Amino acid sequence: MNAHEDWAALARAAKPLDWSGPIIFGVDPVEAAKRSGGRIVYVSTPLVLDGWQIPETVVLDAARAASELARFRVGAVSPVVLGAAYLDADMHLGIRDPRQWSRWVAPIRNTAGAIWVPASRGWSRCPQVWADVQWAASHGVPVMVEAQEMGHGR
């Protein structure tokens, strides 16, 4: 199975805003803010690298998603936005392949009190997003997914 098929199976079994499990679907920014409990929320969006840069459209999608939570006074952290800024400052920074990226984001993700997966382009097909969700589910960290159905993205 790939990440998209795994997501599809989870989404079929989920009920909107069913808080009984570790992964909750249909969570908009307002609900995510209410449920964050003052904790840092890690915003998991697809990572796309173009050479040594993260394309501007990918960064803007991630920044918009994080700002939707920040609007409600949530400490939202987007590794895509941080990574893009760091790569702009130092193109030799060692975070440009998936393995390096995973090692770099781990301490950021691991300190979050929750993970929010906005319905950004490609969210259900991204192996990094799926890895974040798998880690969170195995460590008791709530995962809030904006989309209720597969294929919903901005």
How far, in Å, CA of 134 to CA of 137, rounded? 5
Tell me what pLDDT residue 154 has: 47
Tell me how crowded residue 75 is: count the other CB atoms within 10 A of its CB. Answer: 15
Tell me what pLDDT residue 113 has: 94
**Coil, strand or helix at 116:** strand
Full DSSP string of 33-95: HHHTTT--EEE------BTTB--HHHHHHHHHHHHHHHTTT--EE-HHHHHHHHHHH-TT-S-
Total-model pTM: 0.86
Which residue bears the tokens 């998209």? 4
Tell me what pLDDT residue 55 has: 86
Domain boundaries, the chain: 34-110
Which residue bears the tokens 């969210």? 123
Tell me what pLDDT residue 137 has: 87
How far, in Å, CA of 22 to CA of 19, rounded? 8
Tell me what pLDDT residue 49 has: 76
Task: Render each residue's pLDDT in the chain as its tens digit; 154 residues.
Answer: 566 567 677 666 666 666 667 788 889 999 999 989 889 999 999 888 777 678 899 999 999 999 999 999 999 999 999 999 998 899 888 888 888 889 999 999 999 999 999 988 888 888 889 899 989 988 989 999 997 655 444 4
